[in-house]
């Protein structure tokens, strides 16, 4: 579904990604783990059109994403749950969710958007209870649910998540990962970027370990969990849930 080949990105003269190649197959949940500054978020931003100048190739369902604007990429079926959630705090839960469907409103899919809104609220019952509440008054876990729900309102076939477990209590991390398992069961392909390597690999089918802008190790998630070098570098006590 998603194929990245020899991707290189820079911020000014500073290289952020130095030739990454990876593939995500339809129906998979794939984890991308690594330390802060390794290039994980940059990769997601490049896929979504937020990095204006990159080299290599990014193809979604065999079509290149080169030079496409973010809105065009959303229309193709890719949605991002950004790091830090980036909600609109004064707007209500319902209004934040509706903003996730902005490209669909422009296609006059009003009935379908209303149906999807109910589906998302059923997926996150706590959001249904707080539909009229300002997003800024939600707890951290509730805000993360809202950020995921907003991305789902675009009806993605590929869902990208950037550090969805950051700052959450262990029980809420489990709730988020269980939600991702439900979404995968519904046919949504998922690329999960996460510093919490143990949690991410425990939920994933396959994984990639990124170091200094390159892929250091890749393979089935279960194998990476048992890999001694991965264990020593990323699966210490600070990563446990």
Domains of the chain: 1-67+191-236 (3.40.50.300)
Pair 214, 32: CB distance under 8 Å: no
What does the mean pLDDT of the chain come to?
91
Question: What's the number of CA atoms in the CB half-sphere (13 Å) around residue 215?
Answer: 17
Strands across the sheet with 158-162, in order? 78-81, 158-162, 189-193, 29-33, 206-211, 214-220
- Predicted TM-score (pTM) of the model is 0.92
Q: Cβ distance 92 to 150 under 8 Å?
A: no
Helix 140-152, helix 170-185: angle, nearest 10: 10
d(CA 37, CA 60): 25
CA distance linking residue 99 with residue 151, whole number of Å: 9
pLDDT of residue 60: 97
Q: Map tokens 């991410």 to a residue.
A: 200
pLDDT of amino acid 139: 95
For residue 153 the two structure tokens come to 């309102």
pLDDT for position 240: 39
pLDDT of residue 239: 39
Q: What is the pLDDT of residue 241?
A: 36
Measured CA to CA, the distance from residue 42 to residue 30 in angstroms comes to 17
Res 236: pLDDT: 54
Give the closest residue to 151 by CA, choosing from 202, 221, 77, 220: 77
User: If you search the block for the tokens 């262990």, which residue do you land on?
Assistant: 170
CA distances (Å), 231 to each of 192, 228, 239, in order? 19, 5, 10
Longest pairwise C-alpha distance within the chain: 53
**What's the pLDDT at 116?**
94
Alpha-carbon gap, residue 107 to 186, rounded angstroms: 24
Q: Which residues of the chain have pLDDT under 70?
A: 235-241
């Amino acid at each position: 579904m998603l194929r990245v080949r020899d991707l290189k990105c820079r911020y000014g003269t500073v290289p952020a990604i130095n030739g990454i190649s990876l593939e995500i197959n339809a129906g998979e949940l794939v984890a991308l783990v690594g330390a802060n500054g390794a290039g994980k978020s940059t990769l997601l931003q490049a896929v979504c059109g937020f990095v204006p100048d990159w080299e290599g190739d990014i193809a979604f369902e065999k079509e290149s994403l080169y030079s496409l604007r973010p809105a065009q990429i959303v229309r193709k079926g890719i949605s991002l749950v950004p790091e830090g959630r980036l909600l609109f705090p004064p707007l209500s839960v319902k209004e934040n969710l509706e903003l996730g469907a902005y490209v669909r409103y422009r296609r006059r899919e009003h009935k379908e958007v209303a149906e999807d809104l109910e589906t998302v609220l059923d997926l996150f019952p706590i959001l249904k209870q707080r539909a009229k509440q300002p997003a800024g008054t939600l707890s951290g876990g509730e805000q993360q649910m809202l950020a995921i729900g907003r991305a789902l309102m675009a009806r993605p076939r590929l869902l990208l998540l950037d550090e969805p477990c950051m700052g959450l209590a262990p029980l809420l991390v489990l709730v988020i990962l269980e939600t991702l398992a439900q979404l995968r069961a519904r046919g949504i392909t998922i690329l999960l970027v996460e510093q919490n390597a143990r949690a991410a690999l425990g939920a994933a089918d396959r994984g990639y370990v990124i170091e200094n802008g390159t892929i250091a190790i890749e393979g089935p998630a279960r194998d990476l969990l048992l890999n001694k070098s991965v264990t020593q570098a990323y699966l210490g006590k600070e990563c446990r849930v």
